[in-house]
Amino acid sequence: MPNGSSGPVKPRTPPKNPPRPATGVGLRVSLIPAEEPKKADPKKGFRIWLVSVGVGLLALVILSVSLWVNVLVARRQVAAINTEIERVSKAERDLGESLTGARLIQSQLKGAAAVLKNHRHGSTVFRFFERYTLPTVSFSNATVAESGMVTLTAQATDYDAFVAQVNEIRRAPLVRSVTISGISAEYDQFGVLVTVRFTLTVNFDTAIFLVQAPEPATP
C-alpha cells in the first residue's frame, strides 16, 4: 500500500519453500554440561597395594608353617629311624656277646672233655706201664694220642735191662708195635756204664682206651 493510505494490513504468506541455512555455517551449542575427567583416588590405590601385600604375607606365612611342619615330621621320622637302628645295633651286640659267651663255654667244655679223655686214656696207659715196667727201668714224659700211639722217654741201668724192657713190652697184649730211638749211654769217671737213655714209642690197640678194657694178662 502507498504511504498515507489507510486500510487493513494483510499478513504475509510464508513461502512454500523456505531457504535452507548454508552448510558449515553457524555454531552449535550444547545445553548439556560436559563431564569433567575423574581424578585417580590415591586411597583406593593404597588399599589395593595393602591387600596385595597382605595376601603375599599370608601366603608366605602358610608356606613357612607348611615347611616347619614338614621339617618337624622329618625330624621325628629320623629320630624314630635312629632309635630303631640303635635298638637293632644293641640287639646285635647282645647277640654277639651271647655267641661269644656260648663259644667260650663250648671251648671250655671241649677243653674239659679233652682233659677228661686224656686223663682216662693216660690212666689206662699208666696202669699198663706200671704193670710191665722192670725195676731197672724208669719212664717219664709220656705223650698219649687217641690213635693209640704213646711216646715216652726212658732210662735203664744197662743194656741188658734196656733189651729186657723192650722185649717185655713187645710181648704184652694190645701192643701192635714198638719203636726205639735216641739211644745214648752215660759212663762214670772210671768208664763204667751208668745209664742207657732211649725214647720208646708204643703203638697200642685203641681197645686199651676203653673204660671196660680188660686188664693185660700177666706174662
Q: Residue 100 belongs to a domain with what CATH number?
A: 3.30.1360.100
Tell whether 1 is covered by a domain.
no
Tell whether 168 is covered by a domain.
yes
- Position 43 pLDDT exceeds 90: no
SS3 6: coil
Distances (CA, A) of 47 to 42, 53, 57, 59, 108: 9, 10, 15, 18, 90
Average pLDDT over residues 18-31: 55
* DSSP conformation class of 63: H
Q: How confident is the model over 129-165, as pLDDT tens digits?
A: 888 999 999 998 888 888 889 999 999 999 999 999 9
For 200, counting Cβ atoms within 10 Å of its Cβ (0-12 exposed, 13-18 middle, 19+ buried), the class is buried
Domain housing 69? 47-219
- Position 199 pLDDT exceeds 70: yes
- Position 26 pLDDT exceeds 70: no
Four-residue CA torsion sign, 18, 20, 26, 31: positive
Tell whether 9 is covered by a domain.
no
Q: How confident is the model over 44-71, as pLDDT tens digits?
A: 677 777 778 788 888 888 888 888 888 8
Is the distance from CB of 129 to CB of 139 less than 8 angstroms? yes
Is the distance from CB of 179 to CB of 141 less than 8 angstroms? no
Tell whether 175 is covered by a domain.
yes
Q: How confident is the model over 77-125, as pLDDT tens digits?
A: 888 888 888 888 787 777 776 666 555 555 443 433 443 344 455 678 8
> What is the domain count for the chain?
1
Phi, psi (rounded to 5 degrees) for 37: -65, 135
Residues facing 193 on adjacent strands: 187
